Structure 1
C-alpha cells in the first residue's frame, strides 16, 4: 500500500509499504480521509522529528474492512474515526479519565504508524480501550477527519470554562483559531475578537461568528482591543492558537482582572520569558494551557459534528490524492490554505 513515511529530520516521502495483515485482536481500516495538521507540517519542514520510518498522520477516518476473530464490537462496513493516542489505561491519569496525559502515551503518526496510508491497523490495546469510535451516518468521512482537532478545542474551551457572558480573544485565525470561534459561538459566549495578519482568514472568522477582527499589520493591536473593550466591557478570556511569544505580555495588560489566558499552541522554551509576574499576581490572572483531548472529549466532538449546528466542512479548502501528499504539504504551508485533506 501507499503511505507517507517519515525517514529522518526534514525527509518524508510517499512509499510502498507492507499492507497490514489480519490480527485476531484487531481490525483493519480502509482510510477514507486524513487531514494535515500543524504538527505534520512542522515534521515536513524539519522543525520536529518523529520515529524513523513511521507512517505519519493522526487526523483520519475510514471504513472497517477486516475484523479479527476475537473482536466482537466491530463488523466489516463500520464507519469509524480514530482517537490517536495510545495509552496504557492503568496509570493514575488514565484511571482519572485523562488518557491524553498517560505517562506511557504514544501518538499515532509520531511514535507509531498513523493514518496517512491506504490502510490502518490499530494496536489490540487501542481496540480494547475503545479508541476506535463508530461514526453516525450523518457524519461524513471528511468531516470525521477533523474530529481530533475539534476534540482538542473542546478540551481548550472546557479548561477555560467558556460559556454565557464571556468575552474572548482568539489569537490566530488558522484552522485551530477558527475552530475556537465556531465552538465558542456554539457555547454561547457574548463576544469573540479574532486577531490575525491574514485578511482572508479574518473574513472567514467573521463568517463563522467572530464579532470583531483585528489585523495587527494594519492597526495597533493594543489600542484596538482597548477600544473594543469599551464597547462590551472588556476581555475576560484569551486563547493563543499560535506560538507568538510577545503577545503574552501584551495580554497581561489588556485582559480583565481575574481573567484567564490559555496557551493552546506551544511556543518553544522561551515562550513566556520576560513576563512581569506582578501583573499576573495583582490582577489575579490565571495562566493555563491545553493539549490533545480525552476520549470523552473526542466523543463530544462526534456529537457536535452530528448535531449539524455548524459546518466544519467550511474549513476544508483543498483535497489531494495520497500520492500527491508532498504537494499537499507544500500548499498547507501557504497561509491561504486551511485544512488540507489527503484522500487515499
Structure 2
C-alpha cells in the first residue's frame, strides 16, 4: 500500500509498504481522510518525545472497517469509524484514575503505531478495548470526523483549566486549535471570548470562529485591550494554543485574581524554561495546568458536539489533498496560508 513514512527527522517519503495484517481480535480500516496536525509537522522536522522511527504519521483518522477478526468484535465491515489515537492499557493507576492519555504504557497511532497517512490502518484489540474506535454519526463526513481528535484535545484542555460559562477567556493563537477552542467555548456558553493573533492571514480566516473580540496584536496593545474588555480586572482563563504564546505575551499581567492558565501547546526545547514571580502566583492564587492529548471519551463527545451542530468545522478545511501532495500541505500550513489540510486521496 501507499504510505507517508517518516524515516528520521526531515526524511518523510511517500512510498510503498506492506499492507497491514489483521491483528488478533482487531480491525483493518481503509483510511478515507486524515488531517495534518501541527504535531505531524513538528515530528517531521524535529522528532517528538513519543515518536518511534520509522513511522507512518497521521493521528486524525477516519475510515471504513474492511476486515474484522472472528469472535466478539463490536464492529462490522462497512461501518464508518473515527479512530482516537491513544491506546491505553486500562490497568495502570493513570487509567484507573480517569487519565488514560497519561497511561504508563500508552501507545499512539502515528507515534508508536503506524498512523493514518496510508491507505489502510491496522487497529489492535487494545484500541477497541480502551474505547478508541468510534462510530461516525450519520450526517458527519469523513473529513469532519478527522476533527474529533483535535476538538477532543480542546475539551481536555478546557476541562483541566475548569473553563466556566461566567469566565472571560483569552485564547492566544488563532490557528486551527485556537479557532476550535473559540468555537467550543462559544458552544459551552462562555461569557466572553478574546482571540489573539498577529498573522494577518490567520486573522482574516479566524473571523468565522466568531469570538467576542478578535485582537490583532500587531496593531493593538494586548494589555490595554484586556484592561478595556474586563474593566481593568483581567481575564479568568488564558489558553496558550501555540508554542510562542507563553514566551511572547506577559500572561501574568493579563490575569484576574484566581486566574488560570492552560499550557495547551508544548514549547520548543530551547525555550521550555520559563520564569514567573512565585509571590504573584501565591498572592493572586494563580493556577497553571498542562494539557496533553485527549481521552477516548472526549473523542466521542467531540463527535457529539459536531453532530449536534454546536461546532461547525467545515470552514476550517482550506485544502483537501492527495497523499502524494503531503509536503505541499505541510508547506501551506507552515506559511499560514491554510488553517487545516486534509488528505482525502490515497
Q: TM-score, normalised by structure 1?
A: 0.95
SS at match of 1:237: strand
SS at match of 1:34: strand
Q: Which moved more, 1:262-271 or 1:24-33?
A: 262-271
* Matched residues, number: 342
The question of 1:2 aligning with 2:14 is answered no
Question: Partner of 1:260 in structure 2?
Answer: 260
Question: Partner of 1:15 in structure 2?
Answer: 15
Question: Partner of 1:287 in structure 2?
Answer: 288
Question: Partner of 2:110 in structure 1?
Answer: 109
Q: Which moved more, 1:192-201 or 1:146-155?
A: 192-201
Contact residue 316 and residue 340 of structure 1 kept, 8 A: yes
Measured against aligned partners, the alpha-carbon deviations of 1:231-257 in whole angstroms (never above 9, x if no partner) come to 8x5311111001224346x12112100
SS at match of 1:230: coil
SS at match of 2:230: helix
Q: Tell me the distance in 2 between the aligned counterparts of 1:123 and 1:337.
A: 33
The question of 1:126 aligning with 2:127 is answered yes
Contact residue 26 and residue 71 of structure 1 kept, 8 A: no
- List aligned pairs for 1:70-85, cutoff 5 A: 70-85=71-86
Contact residue 206 and residue 212 of structure 1 kept, 8 A: no
Q: Tell me the distance in 1 between the aligned counterparts of 2:311 and 2:126.
A: 33
Contact residue 25 and residue 73 of structure 2 kept, 8 A: no
Measured against aligned partners, the alpha-carbon deviations of 1:181-200 in whole angstroms (never above 9, x if no partner) come to 00000111111111111123
SS at match of 1:45: helix
- List aligned pairs for 1:1-344, cutoff 5 A: 1-46=1-46, 48=48, 50-230=51-231, 234-244=234-244, 245-247=246-248, 250-268=250-268, 270-343=271-344, 344=346
RMSD value over aligned CA atoms?
A: 1.7
Contact residue 84 and residue 133 of structure 2 kept, 8 A: yes
CA drift of 1:224 comes to 2.4
* Unaligned runs of at least 5 residues, structure 1: none
Q: Tell me the distance in 1 between the aligned counterparts of 2:78 and 2:3.
A: 22
Q: Which moved more, 1:236-245 or 1:49-58?
A: 49-58
| Residues 1:16 and 1:213: Cα distance change in structure 2 (over 3 Å) | same
CA drift of 1:45 comes to 2.4
Q: Tell me the distance in 2 between the aligned counterparts of 1:116 and 1:293.
A: 20
Q: TM-score, normalised by structure 2?
A: 0.94
CA drift of 1:335 comes to 0.8
CA drift of 1:271 comes to 3.3
